């Protein structure tokens, strides 16, 4: 949906998220498998938080500040943890 469509919705609107294709589900399953490569649980948790995307708007469900609050850390710290987690995945995937 376009942003204008989302803004025109009413509470009575029956909106369902778009159904993913089988290839999209396969790609998601593969990406979620990569997350298990991150040994540090805090880093893994931050990556999983950041992966949460609203199905209609395509926006991240949590900002870095919200993730930081949930983790009890500064938002800059959790952002660094995210990049370290992604580095683990990248290193393992491409070596």
Within 13 Å, how many C-alpha atoms sit on residue 51's CB side? 17
Tell me what pLDDT residue 6 has.
61
Domain CATH for 63: 1.10.10
pTM of the model: 0.77
Distances (CA, A) of 55 to 12, 27, 59, 79, 88: 18, 16, 8, 23, 27
In this structure, what DSSP letter does residue 64 have?
Answer: H
Task: List per-residue pLDDT tens for the chain, 95 residues long.
Answer: 566 666 666 555 566 777 889 999 999 999 999 999 999 999 999 999 999 998 778 899 999 999 999 999 999 999 999 999 999 999 998 87
Output the pLDDT for position 56: 77
Whole domain around residue 56: which residue ranges?
Answer: 3-93
Name the token pair of 68: 């930081």
| Contact assessment for residue 53 and residue 59, using Cβ atoms and an 8 Å cutoff | yes
Contact 57, 5 (CB under 8 A): no
pLDDT of residue 47: 96
Q: Tokens 């369902």, residue?
A: 16
Report the number of distinct structural domains present in the chain.
1
- 62, 7 in Cβ contact below 8 A? no
């Amino acid at each position: 949906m376009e942003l204008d469509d989302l803004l025109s919705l009413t509470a009575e609107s029956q909106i369902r998220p778009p159904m993913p294709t089988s290839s999209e589900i396969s790609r998601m399953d593969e990406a979620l498998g990569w997350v298990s490569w991150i040994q540090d649980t805090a880093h893994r948790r931050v990556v999983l938080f950041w992966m949460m995307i609203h199905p209609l708007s395509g926006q991240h469900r949590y900002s870095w500040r919200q993730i930081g609050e949930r983790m009890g850390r500064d938002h800059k710290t959790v952002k660094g943890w995210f990049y370290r987690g992604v580095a683990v995945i990248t290193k393992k995937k491409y070596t």
